[in-house]
Amino acid sequence: MNLSQSQQEALIKSASQKLGVTEAQLKTELKNGTFDRLLSTLPQADAQKLTKALSNPVTANAILSSPQAKELMKKLFG
């Protein structure tokens, strides 16, 4: 799933507000592939599962292409 630049910015803005970090901090973490802020908000077992899933490009693409992810993005972006 490819997001437009404006959709990416909206998603980052929303996520940064929910995580309590600046957009710049979140962008840096996303660029570095660390996701530390997101992972710190999850229970340890869930954080480990998410890390494993997102580190595999095939799995990550499958997750982002799921009906649930598409519905979430539809709600976020109208």
CB contact at 8 A, 29 and 35:
yes
* Element containing residue 2 per DSSP (H, E): none
pTM, 2 dp: 0.52
60 CB contacts (<8 Å, ≥6 apart)? 53, 54
The alpha carbon of residue 1 and the mean position of all alpha carbons in its chain are separated, in whole angstroms, by 13
Domains of the chain, residue spans: 5-77
Confidence of residue 77 (pLDDT cuts 50, 70, 90): low
- What distance in Å separates the CA atoms of residue 78 and residue 75, rounded to the nearest whole number? 5
- 1-48 pLDDT, tens digit per residue, is 566 788 778 888 888 887 788 888 888 887 777 777 677 877 888 888
